[in-house]
């Protein structure tokens, strides 16, 4: 499961931060996930519960914010907001779009003890 490996790398980066910054427990994690990141939120939550057992993130609240997507429209020659990869341009109705924002997943906030 792809979400499980995402959770493992998320946990690794949090453990690195813990070593660097000297915290020992995480209370809340806020994640920003773009609509095209290809992440299934329920699978991510499930995976997170599994990998956080016995780690400094055990029992932490996982807050997930779904970000805004954007794409470059070849017809309009500008960036337009979209929420789905298959959306057409909201300005001209063209399907010639290149997603430019919304593929990312990042930790936005970490509340630690
Ligand atoms: Zn357009």
Average pLDDT, consecutive stretches of 10 residues, N- to C-terminus, the chain (113 residues)? 88 95 96 91 94 96 93 97 93 96 92 93
| Separation of alpha carbons 41 and 63, rounded Å | 10
CATH number of the domain to which 31 belongs: 3.30.2320.50
Token pair, residue 92, equals 């001209």
What is the rounded CA–CA span in Å between residue 44 and residue 46?
5
Is residue 90 assigned to a domain? no
pLDDT of amino acid 113: 87
Ligand 1 centroid from CA 35, angstroms? 20
51 part of a folded domain:
yes
**Ligand 1 centroid, distance to 86 Cα (angstroms):** 14
> Ligand 1 centroid vs 39 CA: distance in angstroms?
27
| Per-residue confidence (pLDDT) for residue 85, from 0 to 100 | 86
Total number of domains in the chain:
1
pLDDT of residue 1: 59
- The reply to whether 43 falls in a domain is yes
Instruction: Give the distance (Å) from ligand 1 centre to CA of residue 81.
Output: 10
Give domain status of residue 86, yes or no.
no
Is residue 31 a part of any domain in this protein?
A: yes
77/92 Cα distance (integer angstroms): 11
Query: Does residue 89 lie within any of the structural domains?
Result: no
Chain position carrying tokens 């990141």: 37
Domain that residue 40 falls in? 2-68+102-112
- For residue 23, being part of any structural domain is answered with yes
* 56: in domain: yes
- Cα separation, 53 vs 98, in Å, equals 39
Q: Any bridge partners for residue 109, and if so which?
A: 30
């Amino acid at each position: 499961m792809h979400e499980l490996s995402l959770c493992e790398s998320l946990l690794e980066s949090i453990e690195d931060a813990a070593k660097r910054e000297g915290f020992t427990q995480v209370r809340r994690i806020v994640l920003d996930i773009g609509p095209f990141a290809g992440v299934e939120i329920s699978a991510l939550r499930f995976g997170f519960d599994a990998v956080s057992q016995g780690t400094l993130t055990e029992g932490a609240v996982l807050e997930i914010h779904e970000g805004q997507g954007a794409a470059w429209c070849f017809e309009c020659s500008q960036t337009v907001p979209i929420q789905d990869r298959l959306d057409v341009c909201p300005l001209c109705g063209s399907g010639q779009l290149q997603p430019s924002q919304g593929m990312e997943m990042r930790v936005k906030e970490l509340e630690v003890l």
